[in-house]
Amino acid sequence: MKPDIRDIEQEDWKAFSDLLIRLSRETPYTLLTESENRALSNTQEERTRQLISDPNQLVVVASHHGSLVGFVAVSRGLFTRNRHAGSLMIGVLPDYQGKGIAAALMQRALSWAESGQITRIELGVMENNDRAIRFYERFGFEKEGIKRNSLMMDGVPVNEISMSRISQQNG
């Protein structure tokens, strides 16, 4: 499977909103629930416009046969003391996992970060998401700590693992 990996475009706003809704419905590991993503869908067109115009943001999408099947987003710190750091989110629909799509998205995000002198990429992952943890470790992310009872899944507290990747370049 060879997905199209590209920067998000304004015309993608509806498909991107639908992707976020599907991800929250089809996997338990998203921060926002399906109803929260649905509630935000009416602002997605403007939020996409803002993402595209902001040089401190990157959103890359993966499409297969014209449908969005995954994304990665990186947000760079806005201040002098955190401009070297970025926060990463990634999601791929379950039917498309294990096919190299997440790896292609991650590579694109890391290239963007390094070209912008972002030397630290950080993320949070639910402690029970072993597959994602192994994936992040393959890309050089290391566990930094545990945020105890940070999230709730079906009324049950879940720990969140903080992970980061520190590049060796000078920033």
pLDDT score at 2: 79
**Which token pair is 95?**
């039917």
The percent of residues above 90 in pLDDT, for the chain, comes to: 95
Rounded Cα gap, residues 102 and 118, in angstroms: 20
Tokens 């963007």 found at: 112
Q: With bands split at pLDDT 50, 70 and 90, how would you rate the model's confidence at 169?
A: low
Rounded Cα gap, residues 46 and 97, in angstroms: 29
- Cβ atoms 10, 48 nearer than 8 A: yes
Q: Mean pLDDT of all residues in the chain?
A: 95
What confidence tens digit (pLDDT) does each residue in 99-127 have?
Answer: 999 999 999 999 999 999 999 999 999 99
Rounded Cα gap, residues 109 and 7, in angstroms: 10
What confidence tens digit (pLDDT) does each residue in 11-59 have?
Answer: 999 999 999 999 999 999 999 999 999 999 999 999 999 999 999 999 9
pLDDT score at 171: 43
Residue type, 48: T
pTM: 0.93
Nearest Cα to Cα of residue 170 among 128, 95, 119, 105? 119
